[in-house]
A = this chain, B = another copy of it.
Amino acid sequence: MHLGQPLSPSPLDPPRRLLMGSGPSNPEPRVLQALATAPIAADDPALGGLLNDVSALGRVLFKTTNLDTLAVMGASRSGIEAVLASLIQPGDRVLVGVFGHFGELLCALAARHGAQVERVDAEWGRPVDVDEIVARVRRDPPRLVAIVHADTSTGILQPVAAIGAACRDVGALLMIDAVLSLGGCEVDVDGWAVDAAIGGLQKCLGGPPGLALVTLSKRASELLHERTRPIDSAYLDLARLTQQWRECDSQTGGPELSTSMLAAAREALRIVLAEGLQPRWQRHAAASRALRAGLRAMGLEFFGALDSRVPMITLVQVPDGIDEPGVRAQLLDEHGIEIMAAFGPLRGRVWRIGTMGTNARVPSVTAVLAGLEAVLASRGFALARGAGVDAALAVATAHRR
């Protein structure tokens, strides 16, 4: 289908889906309801309270005292680009750790904003060697180190604490893309000496896509105002946006703010903190443990270094002779369940199954296992019917005891 088709005349009624892919996940019902909050105008005294709350909740979530904790009005990648565009000046050396698709995105965006990009690569399926990054940082300090914390393309978690310490020692900045990890596993901005981090609502936070959470250390904020060259985009200019948020009841910031998305973010973060960070991380870990036990019992094999996997997405190898897109289409069509294809070198070889936000729960796990089992069985893949679900439930029950 391409643009230019006739208009469909009826109210929008997208199919019911259990979203078990790489995001968006199904949002919490209360968050969808919060989207319908009436707009708050730029000069309304109530606006400042909303901004303050999103910022305060964001600080707890990122584990930081950063005053400059805010939302960028756009997709997660608007937040990533805002950080890179705002912290990089042309010619700056930026060291990027690359272990998947979103590391490549960091390279592309850094280059677009004038950086001299240097890379430390890891084979897909492993994190970047921390010692190698630390050595590079100490040997020849870059302006900025950029790295993905948890990459949906490979399902690998990158340790960053030692990188942050090295950066702090030599005066380099560290930015992490925490879009996938925030709310699903620990992200310790202050503890790891991270200078800029970006989160998205639509993965482990129970919200819809369309808003990026950003936090900046004092050091990063100060550097915004020491630039000698304007930031490439006014819309993504964090010097301007942090100023607007700091003066959160001024009338200058209002016209750009999507108060619907901010109301949704506030409700999503409230739900996360009411559950508690630690229990929420444990719930994400438990869901993937159950999912993986089920997949193993079905005779499937995983992709990537087992001890470096993230808890919110599982990469599983497509068995020989099985039609990768055919399985996904059938699972969507017959079971209403979405799992995702893989990027780049893994395309066609791997499925990505997410357990994020409200779907990091046993019933979502058993649903995807039962559906996938039925689809694979219908296509002649030999497996013991019911084994996946039983194994998942056994693991879940064992951990509950």
Spell out A's residues near B (CB within 8 Å). 1-8, 11-12, 14-17, 19, 21, 23-24, 26-27, 32-41, 43-46, 48-53, 55-57, 67, 73-78, 81, 85, 108-109, 112, 202, 208-211, 230, 232-236, 245-249, 251, 255-261, 263-264, 266-267, 270, 328, 332, 338, 340-341
Contact in complex: B78, A7 (CB < 8 Å): no
Given contacts A53-B8, A233-B81, contact A19 B1 (CB under 8 A): no
Q: Do A1 and B260 touch across chains, with their CB atoms under 8 A apart?
A: no
Residues of B within 8 A of A74 (CB): 73-74, 78, 235, 256
Q: Chain B contacts of A267 at CB under 8 A?
A: 11-12
Instruction: Sort A-B residue pairs by CB-CB distance and give the 4 closest, nearest first.
Output: A210-B258, A75-B256, A35-B35, A24-B39
SS class, residues of chain A in contact with chain B: loop
- Beta-carbon contact of B39 and A27 below 8 Å: yes
- The reply to whether A39 and B3 contact each other, CB–CB distance below 8 Å, is no
Residues of B within 8 A of A24 (CB): 39, 41, 259
Given A67-B3, A73-B78, CB of A233 within 8 Å of CB of B230: no
Residues of B within 8 A of A57 (CB): 7
Rounded to whole angstroms, the CA-CA distance of A11 and B260 in the bound complex is: 14
Q: Which residues of chain B are near A7, meaning CB under 8 Å?
A: 52-53, 56-57
Which chain B positions have C-beta within 8 A of A51?
A: 3
Q: Which residues of B contact A45 (CB under 8 A)?
A: 1
Interchain nearest-CB distance for A303 vs B (Å): 19
Pick the most buried of A12, A38, A249: most chain B CB atoms within 10 A of its CB. A12
Complex formed: what's the CA distance from A372 to B51 in Å? 29
Q: Is there an interface contact between B202 and A39, defined as CB atoms closer than 8 Å?
A: yes
Whether A85 lies near B233 (C-beta < 8 A) is yes
- Nearest-CB distance from A395 to chain B (Å)? 27
**Chain A to chain B contacts (Cβ below 8 Å), 15 pairs:** A1-B48, A3-B248, A6-B56, A12-B266, A14-B44, A15-B44, A19-B39, A21-B41, A21-B43, A35-B35, A43-B340, A73-B75, A208-B259, A233-B233, A260-B264
Minimum C-beta distance from A340 to chain B (A): 6
Indicate if the CB atoms of B46 and A19 lie closer than 8 Å.
no
A230-B52 in contact (CB<8A): no
Chain B residue contacts of A34, Cβ below 8 A: 12
Q: Give every chain B residue within 8 A of A11 (Cβ-Cβ).
A: 267, 270
